[in-house]
Amino acid sequence: MRQLKAFLIMAYWGLTGMGYSHNGYSSTPSNNSQNSTHSSPVLSANHIIVKGLFAGRAVLEVNGQAHLLKEGKSTPEGITLLRATSQYAQIEYNGVISKLNLTHQVGANYAALHTDDNLASVQLYSQQGGHFLTSGRINNRWVELMIDTGATRVTLNSFTATQLGINFQTAPIVDVETAKGNTQAHQVVLSSVAVGDVLLTNVQALVIIGRFPQMILLGNSYLSRVNMRIENTTMTLQAKY
């Protein structure tokens, strides 16, 4: 059986009650403390979009892949988050420091967050503990979801998958690293995932053998394909097209 290595990097918003913990990327401190701050683009290969801002952490999209970073942590591409507030993110790459907000980016081929009223959108409000919980639909079946910008894919346990009629038993198996240790999951493709009217088709997902996570995690296989904005306690998800 073909084994692939996959990692579920859980969000800072604390899923420890579900048996997971946040795993940040290794920090790569800058050695150029005298660098000046630049407002102009500094990257040519990596395209960075600020997708969400929090006190002490930010969601950065690099070449289409979303990363939840805490201050001092870096993406695999070597982009380090120096400071994050609800207003801006300060990043360092190759010794150059830039300050970005939700309407700015570094690199080319950037499309700002759509404000077209014709595009489907939905607003979510944070619950106790800062979690964003919402009802949604998987394969047109109603489910409860937790937004998790740190999960690489939509993730659910095998018991929930069985209840939803997802045929995962013959799907490829991968090794998944969690706070409890290594376990196994099936890689599947969901026909559709929707939050409100923001519907996507052919969404990659992981079905973990067992009963964890207890709640379905809406990860980046969905979130990276929509526009996401977080302002205070409100999250807005909007279709890109």
Q: What is the pLDDT of residues 80-136, one digit of tens each?
A: 888 887 677 888 888 788 888 764 444 323 233 444 567 888 888 888 778 899 889
| pLDDT attached to residue 102 | 67
- Structure-model confidence comparison of residues 26 and 154, the more confident one: 154
pLDDT band at 38 (very low <50, low <70, confident <90, very high): very low
Nearest CA-CA partner of 80 in 14, 23, 32, 28: 28
Q: Strand locations in 24-166, DSSP E?
A: 37-38, 48-54, 57-62, 65-70, 80-84, 89-93, 96-100, 105-106, 121-125, 133-138, 141-147, 154-157
Please write the tens of the pLDDT for every residue from 143-164.
999 999 888 899 999 999 999 9
HSE at residue 113, side-chain half, CA atoms within 13 A, is 19
Residues 7 and 174: their CA atoms lie apart, in Å, by 9
Give 180-230 pLDDT, tens digit per residue.
Answer: 678 899 999 999 999 988 999 999 999 999 988 999 999 999 999 999 988
pLDDT score, position 20: 34
* 198 CB-near residues (< 8 Å, 6+ apart): 120, 121, 122, 226, 237, 238, 239
Burial (CB count within 10 angstroms: exposed 0-12, middle 13-18, buried 19+), residue 209: middle
The Cα 176–Cα 234 span in angstroms is 31
The reported pTM is 0.56
The predicted pLDDT at position 68 comes to 78
Q: What is the DSSP string of 158-171?
A: HHHHHHTT---TTS
Task: Check whether 179 has a pLDDT greater than 70.
Answer: no
Full set of structural domains in the chain with CATH: 3-14+114-239 (2.40.70.10), 37-106 (2.30.30.830)
CA 42, CA 156: separation in Å to the nearest integer? 39
